[in-house]
Amino acid sequence: MVAFQLSPGLAAFQGMVENLARTVVRPLALEADRTHVYPQDFYERLASLGYSGGEVPEEYGGGRKAGAEDGRPSRSNRLMVIGSEWLAYGDPSVILNIPGPGLGGPPLQIAGTPEQKERFFAPFRPGQPVAWGAYALTEPHCGSDAKAIRTRCVKDGDGYILNGRKTYCSNGARAVWTVVFATLDPEGGRAAQRAFVVEKGTPGFAVGKIEEKLGLRACETAELVFEDCRVPASHLLGGEEYYARRNSGSFKTAMKTFDRSRPMVAAMAVGIAQAAYDELVAFCREGHLGGLPILRDTSLRALLVHMRRKIEAARLLCHRAAWMADHQQPNSKEASMAKACAPAVGQWVTREALRVMGGHGTERARFVEKLYRDVKVFDIFEGTGQIQRLIIARKLMPALRIS
Amino acid sequence: MTDFTLSDEAEAIRAEVRRFATRELRPRARQGGDPAVLAELRASFRELGLGSVDWPEEAGGLGLGLLERVLVAEELAAGDAGLALALDDGGLAARALLELGSPAQRERLAALEDSGAVFALALDEADLAWERGALYTMASPDGEGWRLQGGKHFVLQAPRATAFVVLARTGFAPGWGEVDAFLVEAGAEGLQVLEDPPRIGLDALGSGRLLCAGCPAARLAGGAPRPAAIARLRRYRRILFAALMVGVARAATGYACGYAQERPAFGKMIGQFQGIAFPLAELATAVDATRWLVWRAAEAFDRGDADELPSLEALLTAQETVHRAGIDSVQVLGGAGFMEDYPVEKWMRDGAALAGLAGSRLVTEQLAADALFGPA
């Protein structure tokens, strides 16, 4: 049945995340933004509360998934959307910091063999020390054009030799393993692409942190270098048969990940927009303009109404895309709609909040300037806004090749 | 938890209305002024019960909610919004009778079937801020009944209505505490119905102004508590208007996408150019988001939620989206979009007419701000 209210259980879940965001995350956020790191006990606390960055399947030691019982549709995508939104409300940096398989989880879950899942999900079982997984697709010379990757993999006996560079890899330096996309032949297109799970410390695999960024400063971003890095064939995601059977390389694996991650990333942008809106309202409640309380100004009230409905609309697009994923419906178009819309709303709301607040908005302690910096990358990673529009347009006009 | 699952019944209704709108309404969108066409379509509309899905079963409806009504409205408007409004002889006034009328007054809805009755709802006044205190039509007691003094604007179906439900003030208290709804017969002494001059769009729909110079009226005498029931009626109207706008915006977007796949330029189809493809992607995103805002508002309404914001947000967003859909779809078709040989110029006009008749953006935004932050 059509419903837009949270069930009691979910309202409790949202309340719990929101409480964590307000009472634990937010007080640490400014300091983490300055030092580029959260304290170690914060990660342990998140893990002990049951938060996991990326899903660990139940059969491989993850926690029990809410709502998948009784053959009913899963609720996991909707839960992720709610959790992501409210954690980002506390601090947009925090989500990518949560220990867990991260963006490496979905390709492992989608393409991995049972042995690979058993082995690589193991570090994330409850009770283990905190650990991160990572996902490396982007290279210095190519981002959105993922077909153009040049990191080479060459078959060598019972393994592969990797050579090349990856960049903008979240948690890449501390990850226990990273899903790395490489190609047998740079001219071979999608079919030549392969995905490998490369473990930390593998000889020939070096990482360096990228320290200075516009926003998400408390997130670890790494550059990966592969120099004659030998990876056993057992680390080829899905095994040789997977690629023989599908005949489409790992490209599809990379793209499928997005159908689940994009609504989540979009929801984070919604959380950022909501946070900026709330900060602006708080500012307007305390301040005066021309002798009158700011909140009585008609043009400001209209702006706040406009912001709020834009945020609601973006939120609904996220929930819609997640609902489709939960119901196993193809949702590439809807995931892209959420991802095209929410970061645009987030950028607009944070910018207008800054503009209304004048000089006050530029002060670090006001938090809005941080939201304004942080939200920018949400229109870039997980597919830029332009790429989302391309995907939507292709679905709207299937008769055409649009590039 | 957010859920977009429609019941099987709702899905079936939606499919049936879509068939009707595609086969019957869209091909006749340009013939809305022809009385014979209108009469024929009205018969089918009544037969299919398209105006009464959300009426209680004892009143002859299907007993469904506003959500189902919203599904019907979007589909009809994707056929033709002017016809969608012009074919509905009960209209919003029927909802007023159901919500506010006594059992005897509700009985009059049965007359829609056989007596050729047409009801019209008269809410708006000359002052666009009628929802923020500028409602000036007065009702004064007169023996058993009442008499009305004042004027009503933008009354849809007014020229052919046989009776009107009129919102009027019974006292000068600010707010909605002394506002009530009254039934006025079309031929009543002291009532003048002035047909509106032609409008930008919704060609099939007539509308008019009411001048009440002491015309006799009967208070809608049902037991529903007043300010709340009238607020519900206003929410209902906003949501239904917004649903019609989603239908128009969807039709325009879909047509432009089809055209962009077939129109060559510079050795490609125009849809292959990002300058065409990206605005269409954004438009489709806006239409979807607007629909979910409308559904959310309808679902809240059906639950009895008295929050004003969902309906106001749905309306404001629908107005924005329908304007954008009209303008951008005409742009995609270029010169062809400007011509009456293609439907998009009509959708641009119809969208503007719907958005305007649903109310001023200024007032709606102020109502939303009042709901959020209290009066300014």
Q: How high is the pLDDT of residue B32?
A: 87
Tell me the count of A-B CB pairs closer than 8 A: 149
Residue A302 touches chain B, beta carbons under 8 Å: yes
Q: How high is the pLDDT of residue A95?
A: 87
Instruction: Tell me what the pLDDT averaged over chain A comes to.
Output: 92
SS3 state of residue A290: coil
Contact B183, B145 (CB under 8 A): no
pTM, two decimals, is 0.92
Residue A244 touches chain B, beta carbons under 8 Å: no
In angstroms, how far is CA B117 from the centroid of its own chain? 19
Q: A18: distance to nearest CA of chain B, Å?
A: 16
Q: How high is the pLDDT of residue A70?
A: 61
* Mean pLDDT confidence for B97-119: 89
**Strand pairing class (A221-232; A159-170):** antiparallel
SS3 state of residue A160: strand
Among all residues of chain A, which has the CA nearest to that of B292? Answer: A316
Q: How high is the pLDDT of residue B110?
A: 81
3-state DSSP of chain B = CCECCCCHHHHHHHHHHHHHHHHHHHHHHHHCCCHHHHHHHHHHHHHHCCCCCCCCHHHCCCCCCHHHHHHHHHHHHHHHHHHHHHCCCCHHHHHHHHHHCCHHHHHHHHHHHHCCCCEEEECCCCCCCHHHCCCCCEEEEECCEEEEEEEEEEEECHHHCCEEEEEEECCCCCCCCCEEEEEEECCCCCEEEEECCCCCCCCCCCEEEEEEEEEEEEECCCCCCHHHHHHHHHHHHHHHHHHHHHHHHHHHHHHHHHHHCCCEECCEEHHHCHHHHHHHHHHHHHHHHHHHHHHHHHHHHHCCCCCCHHHHHHHHHHHHHHHHHHHHHHHHHCHHHHCCCCCHHHHHHHHHHHHHHCCCHHHHHHHHHHHHHCCC
| CA-closest candidate to residue A265, choices A348, A193, A170 | A170
Nearest to B277 among A304, A306, A393 (CB): A393
SS3 state of residue A181: strand
Of the ranges A214-223, A284-293, B253-262, B341-350, which one carries the lowest mean pLDDT score?
A284-293
* Mean pLDDT confidence for B140-151: 97
Q: If you search the block for the tokens 């919704």, which residue do you land on?
A: B202
Q: B224: distance to nearest CA of chain A, Å?
A: 26
Please tell me which residue, A1 or A153, carries the higher pLDDT value: A153
For residue A31, name the pLDDT band (cuts at 50, 70, 90). Answer: very high
For residue B117, name the pLDDT band (cuts at 50, 70, 90). Answer: very high
Q: A317: distance to nearest CA of chain B, Å?
A: 6
CB within 8 Å: B261 and A401? no
CB within 8 Å: B271 and A323? no
Q: How high is the pLDDT of residue B358?
A: 97
Q: How high is the pLDDT of residue A64?
A: 57
Q: How high is the pLDDT of residue A249?
A: 62
| CA-closest candidate to residue A268, choices A219, A207, A230, A196 | A219
Q: If you search the block for the tokens 């990002």, which residue do you land on?
A: B274
For residue A69, name the pLDDT band (cuts at 50, 70, 90). Answer: low
Spell out which residues of chain A touch residue B317, defining contact as CB-CB under 8 Å.
309, 313
Q: If you search the block for the tokens 């973006």, which residue do you land on?
A: A314
Residue A334 touches chain B, beta carbons under 8 Å: yes
Rounded CA-CA distance B346/B202 in Å is 8
Rounded CA-CA distance A32/A43 in Å is 12
Q: How high is the pLDDT of residue A250?
A: 64
- Is the alpha carbon torsion for A90, A82, A76, A23 positive or negative? positive
DSSP code at position A276: H
Q: How high is the pLDDT of residue A248?
A: 58
The answer to whether residue B108 scores a pLDDT higher than 70 is: yes
pLDDT digits 0-9 by tens, A159-199? 999 999 999 999 999 999 999 999 999 999 888 999 999 99
In angstroms, how far is CA A352 from the centroid of its own chain? 25
Q: How high is the pLDDT of residue A254?
A: 64
For residue B350, name the pLDDT band (cuts at 50, 70, 90). Answer: very high
CB within 8 Å: A400 and B293? no
Rounded CA-CA distance B123/B362 in Å is 18
Spell out which residues of chain A touch residue B293, defining contact as CB-CB under 8 Å.
309, 312-313, 316
**Strand pairing class (A159-170; A152-156):** antiparallel
CB atoms within 10 A of CB B172: 7
Spell out which residues of chain B touch residue A389, defining contact as CB-CB under 8 Å.
274, 277-278, 281-282
Amino acid at B267: G
Helix (H) or strand (E) segment spanning residue A266: helix A251-286
Instruction: Tell me what the pLDDT averaged over chain B comes to.
Output: 96
Q: If you search the block for the tokens 């805002």, which residue do you land on?
A: B293
Amino acid at B214: G
The answer to whether residue B306 scores a pLDDT higher than 80 is: yes
Alpha-carbon separation of residue A293 from A277, A283, A284, A349, B27 (angstroms): 17, 11, 7, 21, 55
Which residues of A have a catalytic role annotated? 382
Task: Give B256's contacts (C-beta < 8 A, 6+ positions apart).
Answer: B280, B283, B328, B329, B332, B333, B344
Instruction: Say what the ipTM of the complex is.
Output: 0.91
* Mean pLDDT confidence for B130-151: 96
Radius of gyration of chain B, Cα coordinates, nearest whole angstrom:
21
Helix (H) or strand (E) segment spanning residue A386: helix A385-396
Rounded CA-CA distance A42/A25 in Å is 9
Beta bridge partners of A386: none
pLDDT digits 0-9 by tens, B231-282? 999 999 999 999 999 999 999 999 999 999 999 999 999 999 999 999 999 9
Task: Give A284's contacts (C-beta < 8 A, 6+ positions apart).
Answer: A293, A294, A295, A300, A304, A356
